Amino acid sequence: MFYIAVACQGGCYILACIMNWVVSPFFRASLAKQCHLRYKIGVESINAFYIEIYQKHRKRAQNGFTLIAFAIECLESASTSPHKKSLGILILNSILGQNPDNQELISIINTSTNPLNILIKMVGSKNPQYTHMRLL
């Protein structure tokens, strides 16, 4: 009886993994489309967001991590790659483009000086790693 229960549990786990592999890309692409992000870079942004949520969940961090918090964290972290910072900027641009009167986001950006400094540095830099940011 015990072996049957373990086999059923393993089967359910395998089925859940397969369903996640099949269904998850559609949900991520749908979220990118709702955020008015371009398809390839939008899905990449949402994938980075999902990875960050998963890592925070594994560390038992706070609940309620939002897309806005992810974008701000991408800009504030010193260890974040330039590409991930550009994803954060694209997310913020998309959210502000949808709702320019988003007072919560505007106040977060205004009170945080680090993202603005990073953005100015990325746009004004001649460093080749920031070329994609200047092209946006």
Domain with 84 in it: 2-135
DSSP string, 2-53: HHHHHHHHHHHHHHHHHHHHHHHHHHHHHHHHHTT--HHHHHHHHHHHHHHH
What's the structural domain count of the chain? 1
Arithmetic mean of pLDDT, 14-20? 89
Q: State the pLDDT confidence band at 134, using cuts at 50, 70 and 90.
A: very low
Per-residue pLDDT tens digits for 55-103: 887 787 666 778 878 888 887 777 777 778 778 878 877 877 777 777 7
Per-residue pLDDT tens digits for 87-98: 887 887 787 777
